[in-house]
Each structure stands twice: as C-alpha cells, then as structure tokens.
Amino acid sequence: MTISVQNLTKIYKRRLLTQGQYSILKNFLKPTYEKVQALCNISLTIGQGEMVGLIGPNGAGKSTLIKILSGILVPTSGDVRVLEHIPWAHNKTCQSQISLIIGQKTQLWWDLPALDSYELLKAVYHIAANDFDKRLARLSEMLNVTDLLNVPIRELSLGERIKTELIGGLLHNPKIIFLDEPTIGLDLSAQYQIRSFLREYNSLTNASIILTSHYVRDIESVCDRIVVLHKGQFYYDGTQDALSEKFIPYKKLMIHHQPGEYSWRLDPSVVNTSPDQASAYLPVDQVDDFIALVVSQSPIYEVVVEDETLEDLIRRIYNRLSK
Amino acid sequence: MSAYLIIIRNAVAESASYRLNQIVSFLTISLPLVFAVFLWKTVFNQVDEITNFDLPSTLTYYLLVVLLQDILYSGVKWEIVDDIHSGGLTKWLTKPISYLWMQVSVRIGTNIPYFLVAFILGSVFVFLNLNRLVWTTEPIRWLMFLAAIIMAFFLAFFLSFGFSLVAFWTQDTSGIEFAISIFLPLLSGQILPITFFPKEFQAILVYLPWRYTLDFPIQVYLGTLSSVQIGTGFTVEFLWLVALYFIAKTLWKNGLNIYQAVGG
Amino acid sequence: MNYFSLWLIFLRNSWKRVLVYRVNFLILIIGNLFWFIFSILFFQILFAQIPAIGGWTLNEVIFLLCVNQIVIGFYDTFIKANLERLPSRIREGSLDFDLVKPVDPIFWLTFQRVQISSMFSLALPAFILVRLLLTHSIVIPNSTAIFLFFLMLFGAVVLRFVVGVLIASLAMRFISVQSLFSLQSEFFQYSGYPTSIYSKGAKLFFTFGIPVIMLANFPAQALLGNKFEPIELSLYPVYIIFGLILAVKVFSHSLRKYSSLGG
C-alpha cells in the first residue's frame, strides 16, 4: 500500500482568552486552553495511482490529515505509513518521493523568477540535468507557462503562480502528490486547466494524488474516490457513483408558470426566483406528486426536470451533517 | 470622553496580550541601565564630574530616559502612515471622534503596561542603587519637572504626528524615517545628555525642538541647569509647542483635502 | 547532499533578489550601522572629557567596537534573516514546505537567505579596524594571534547561531518570541563595551552566563596577543561545543513537536 492509516487521532490545544474586567491579568498569570479534536480514530489505505478527493465542511480535518500524511504534523495517536515510512520521521528517501502543494501559498522565492527556484529544487532533490530539462519542458508545455518562467513570481497572476508552483512540485517526479485547496481563488478557466492537467499527469506517471478542495467540481473531475470528512471522522469513503447511490437521489425542477400566489409556492423545498418562475429541489419519489400538485393549482408554461449534480448532493450532505 | 477611555483600554489590552513578550520587554528595558551602571561607575572612578554631572545625576539621567523614551517618542508612527496609505483613516473620519486626540489616547494606552513594567524595574533599580541616585525634595523642582514633562509629551506628540502626516504626500516614507532615526537619538539626548556635547553643537541643539523631548525635562529634575538655562529652555519649548501645534493642524487640514480628493 | 553547493544557490538567489530590490539598499547598509556609529560617537564625545575608561584608551575601545560589529555583521548576513523570520513564518503556516524537503531542516531554515546589505555593512568596521592596524594604534604581535583571532571570530558567530537557534526553537511552542530576538541583539550590542567596567562577579557572569564577553572581547584579546586566564581558555571550546550540541538537539526536538496553526 502506498499510504496506510490506522486509528489516527489528532487533538489540538487552543488558547482561550476570557472577557471581563480582570481578564487581562488573568490571561497573563494563568492562561486557559481548550481541546479541539481534529481527527478521531480514522483509518484508510490508498494505492499507487489512486486519485483521492478529501472534502468536508470547514474544520472537518482535511488539512490536518494532509499535514500528517506529508509529515508536517505529528498525530496524537495512531499509525501512519507513507511509502513504507513514518512521514513525520522525515526520512530523506520518503521526502524525495512526495510533494506538497498548498493553494495560495508558494514555496518559490517571491522576488525571483520560477527558474531560479527550480534550480534550487534541482539541487535539493538531486535531479539529473537531462531529467530536469525534459520534465521542465514537458510540464511547462502542458501548463502553457513556458514564457512565464523568467518572470518574478510576484508579478504573476494567481493562476500563473499556481501553475509554476505545480511545476516546482513535480520536477522531482514524486510518487505521491498532496494538494491542499490548489484551485482556491482561481477563475473558472484556470480551474479547468489545473483539473485536466492533474488527470493527464496521473495517467502519464501513475502518481497518487490526494486532493482537498472546497470546489466539488475539482473532486468530481479529478478524483475516482471521494472521502467525506466531518468533525474529524470519515462520513463516506468510496467512489462517486456509490456516493450517489447511497443517498436517495434528488431532482431539480424549474417551473415556468402563470404569475400568481399559489400555495405550492410556499412549500419549503421551493425557491421562488420571480413571480412567474420557481425552482424546487426534491427527492425523486416525490417529483410526480409535486408536479401533479402544481398542475392542479396553476397554469403551467414549462417544467424542466434535472438530475442533481454532485455539488448539490455534497451540499445536501453538509446540511445534514451540520444538524 | 468615554470613547477615548475605551481606546486607551483596548490599547492596553492589545499591548499586554502576549505573556512572554511582557517579561522580555521588562528585561530589554533594563539592559541599557545595567550596562550604564557598570560603565559610568568606572568613568566616575577617575573624574568627579563631567560638565555638572556626577555619578548620581548620570545614572538618574539614563533611568529617566528609559522610563520616558517611549511616551516621549517623536519619530514617525507607522500606524498613522499605514492608516493614510491603506485607507484605514476613512473609518475614523466618519466617526464623531478626533483622529488627533484618538492618537493621543492610543499613545497613553500603549504606554500604560510599559509604565507598569518600568515602574517595577525602576523600583528595583532604585533599591539597588539607593545612595547613587538623585532624589530631589524641592517642590518647585517637581513642579517644573511636571510642567516640562507635560509640555514634552505634547511637543513630542506633535512632532511625531506632524512627521507621520508626510504620508499624505508620499508613498515612500522610508527616507524620512531613516533621517529621523539617525538624528533623533542624538538630538533628543537619548544617547548622551546634551551638555556632554561640544559647545558648538550645544548652541544649536538648544534651539531645536528635539532636545526638549528628553534632555530638558530630565535635566530640570536633576538640577544640572542654571536658572537662566531653565528660563530660556521653557521659553523656547513653549514657542516650539505653539508652532508645532499649528503646523500639525495645517498639515492635517491640507493632507485631509488630498486624502478625500483621492477617495481615501 | 552537497550542502555547500546548495548554499551557493542560496547566495546566488539572495544576490539576485537584491538586484531586483535596488531601492533603499544604501539606506539598509547605513541603517545596519546605526548602533555602531552612535557607539563610536558616544565614546569619542566621552573621551573628550576623560582620558581612559578603566585603563582602556579610545583606540582600544574603537577596536573592540569594530570586532563586535564584525561578529554582528556575520550573524546578520548569514543567519539572522532566517532564524528571526521563523516566528512570523510559523504564524503564516509557510514553514510547511520546509519540513517536507529531503534536506536537513536546521540547515535549510538557518541559511536560506543571505542578507547582502549586512555583508556590505561589514566594510565600515573592517575599514576602521585595518586603519587602526596600519597606523599602529593597535599592534599585532605574531601570526598565532591572527590565527587565534579568526578562530575566536568563528567561535563568536557559532555562539550567536546557538543563541538564535535556541530562541527559534521557542518560536515553535510560543508564537511570539520576536522580543527575545530583540533582547539578545541588544545584549550582544554591549559586547563592544570594554571588560574593565565589570566587577569580578559580573565579568564571570557575562563571560559564561550570558556570553557577552566571549563574543568580541575574546577575539579582540587574541589579536592583541593578550594573555587569557587559563580557566577562560580551557572552558571556551567546551562551552561552544556544548552549546552547539544543545542547540541542535533542542531545535530538532522542537521541530518534532511542532504543530502548525490552521487546518
């Protein structure tokens, strides 16, 4: 197994500042802490070449998991092996085969062109000169940034920066790539490019990709496997299709009707966008009855029925989780 | 009035919120004094006095410098520069509160934890050097000292405020901050009492405002100045105070026009 | 891992970075020398009023200040920018990338940035020092003295490294240690003061307690060919080697316990 996690738990200590008259003195003399449980006894395995997406509401533990797997964080308890090594032991062989890419943060020198930082990475990872040249050429072509490698990082747009960041993270041909919110803040076109790049890269090199994102579309288009985290525990771990099957599918209805105040428009599943248009989000087995109800109350011009997207499904799951 | 008090309180809380920092500030403040004692004891082993200063007055001088250097700071305040450049000033303009007096409150508030620490330090220092410090019991000297301190506070504040307002006219204040940081320690008496300087320099420095932010009030307390020097000093200080007040106000008005013309 | 060639890349990148930021370079260089210049002015004004401080002449004091500034210059050039930025980098969470690299983390975190402006600032104290030597205000007795001088200069920089690393280790646990860095910088400014001002007890404390005297006085004494107390000479290498081992151990330990903010 490329990555194996067993009974992993991580608890943070967070400092509390109290309010009140004498709070300043109290906080000074005797600070108080609270315990935050980031990960609760989770287990999973990931094979070589798998593309895994980690999603979950804020605070679910996604970034914590990535940091433990990449060796930045030490867990409170549990067993983790990445390429047969314990990640936080920082074994050099292991480190030379993994890569970490964090959205909106760059490991490249801010004031210098990407090429200068790449030279440094070449020395750090002992990349042979022709391997380096070949990979650099191929990666920059795939991402369309060949002309930008001589521009200081701070002068690049966010999308361009992430692309140069990606190249930097892949020059040493890692077996595992950890990506923490790589597309955050990017425009749609850049997001699309990054996603197709990741798919293409995986098929070329069979690298394992572990990705966290708030954009469900990232996960949808890049990852075969979805892991849903909530409050430090796995809520779901499996394929996208199986996820849809696990939950009763919903349908989205778009109803174009003659203007009027009808009682069906007050139904909680209905969102009214204008006096003559409304949309509804319902379980598939309630659709027929609902349409019948609508038709019985109001003249209808048009009804469009759509399958819910993965994004809708995930949102629904988050709603359920927050209750 | 209460708004300014709350600002003071928040400034206190903010500067007191880092535990380790407080203990370390305590130590950092004491450092110059520790080495000063060693140095000056050795110096005054060989001479009895240097231009009116003996060991007690020199040690007391540096103790008072340490106590007063923050609240009487007359250099550029980066918070004001930042407010102007980043548009943070706007939120104050819409409130029924004077930006100038707000900054006065912030200065007082930020210094209160400092004073608490400095008071403890000062007491320890005094205790360790009881027979080596100047302690005056003449009420008139205390009165003059108090007057000089209050004038110094506002003088230093208007200098600081005025220089910071340069931010209205230029993005790059590093040049002026640099120039100030070169001259301020020398001109204000932070490094050495002005009377130690060669006579030619003293003649100039007495007519510049900076000397009145530290050197003058401290020397008033120590009694190392003649009555003529004290009289001239207060006069010059008063004139500078009035002038700087008006300069600051004018800079503020003109600067604000520019600020508001650009949209903040 | 060829650490030296890695460091050469650090140097090259730092130099390139300076070329990008040409503005204010001169101001930076002079700014680095403020305390040094003020100290010289201070002693010159003082020495106009008195002949000597505990037996030290003006030239000897200036010599000491130069040696001190050179030690400070080396620390500022190679080490300071990196270690003293650690607390804010930890706050931002940007330390993560450094922990993932197959490079010794202490090396990586200590040497990445070479502060070119501080390198240039070394010119002034070096110049004054050489002038003192050329005008025979200071006399070097023999080549052993020169050798010992450079050895102790290196030892002084190692000491600054040890202190810096110990403080940086604290930054892993307590986020706001910036003030500690300022404190130690302040302490080591006073290394330029002549040792004749200290009482016996104070001298002991400032040699082995907080190694203020070891930093500038030792190399200065070495160059002048002055005799050291046997206890000083024997404890000196022990102190430094022990400090180095301690610093590396503590830092490694703190890195292991490091917990990044955020999630």
Could you state, in order of their start, the residue ranges of all structural domains in chain B?
Answer: 3-261
Per-residue DSSP letter, C202 = H
A129 in contact with C, Cβ within 8 Å:
no
Whole-number pLDDT of residue A23:
62
User: What pLDDT digit, counting tens, does each position of A214-271 carry?
Assistant: 888 888 899 999 999 888 888 889 988 888 777 878 888 898 988 888 888 888 888 8
A17–B16 CB contact, under 8 Å: no
A31–B19 CB contact, under 8 Å: yes
Q: What is the DSSP string of B116-131?
A: HHHHHHHHHHHHHTGG
| C-alpha pair distances (Å), C42 with each of B170, C59, C125 | 34, 13, 16
Angstrom distance (rounded) from CA B39 to CA B32: 10
**Residues of chain A with C-beta less than 8 angstroms from the C-beta of C20:** 111-112, 152
Angstrom distance (rounded) from CA A182 to CA A207: 17
Q: Beta strands A250-257 and A300-307: pairing type?
A: antiparallel
Give the number of beta-carbon pairs within 8 Å between A and B: 11
Based on the number of CB atoms within 10 Å of its own CB, is B172 exposed (0-12), middle (13-18) or buried (19 or more)? exposed
Q: Determine contact, residues A175/A208, Cβ cutoff 8 Å.
A: yes
B17 in contact with A, Cβ within 8 Å:
yes
Whole-number pLDDT of residue B14:
65
User: What pLDDT digit, counting tens, does each position of B70-101 carry?
Assistant: 888 888 888 888 888 887 787 787 777 788 88
With CA atoms as reference, report the closest residue to A215 among A253, A269, A179, A177: A179
Q: Flag whether pLDDT at C173 surpasses 80.
A: no
C241 in contact with B, Cβ within 8 Å:
no
Pick from B1-5, B169-173, C72-76, C164-168: least confident: B1-5
Amino acid at A192: Y
Nearest to A71 among C13, C100, C257 (CB): C100
| C-alpha pair distances (Å), A291 with each of A272, A279, A304, B30 | 16, 12, 11, 81
C54–B45 CB contact, under 8 Å: yes
Angstrom distance (rounded) from CA A146 to CA A135: 12
User: What pLDDT digit, counting tens, does each position of B120-147 carry?
Assistant: 777 888 887 776 787 777 888 899 999 9
CB contact burial B225-256 (16+ within 10 A = b; e otherwise)? beeeebeebbebbeebbeebbebbeebbeebb
CA torsion sign for A70, A71, A76, A77 is: positive
Whole-number pLDDT of residue B231:
93
Tokens of A49: 């070449």
Quote the minimal CA–CA distance from C175 to chain A in Å. Answer: 12
A28–B22 CB contact, under 8 Å: yes
Whole-number pLDDT of residue C147:
92
Nearest to A100 among C12, C97, C102 (CB): C97
Based on the number of CB atoms within 10 Å of its own CB, is B156 exposed (0-12), middle (13-18) or buried (19 or more)? buried
C42–B192 CB contact, under 8 Å: yes
Q: Determine contact, residues A139/A168, Cβ cutoff 8 Å.
A: no
Q: Determine contact, residues A18/A28, Cβ cutoff 8 Å.
A: no
What is the pLDDT of chain A when averaged over all its residues? Answer: 88
* H/E run at residue C127: helix C123-134
Q: Flag whether pLDDT at C261 surpasses 50.
A: no
Angstrom distance (rounded) from CA B141 to CA B220: 7
Residue A181: closest C-alpha in chain C: C263
B38–C41 CB contact, under 8 Å: no
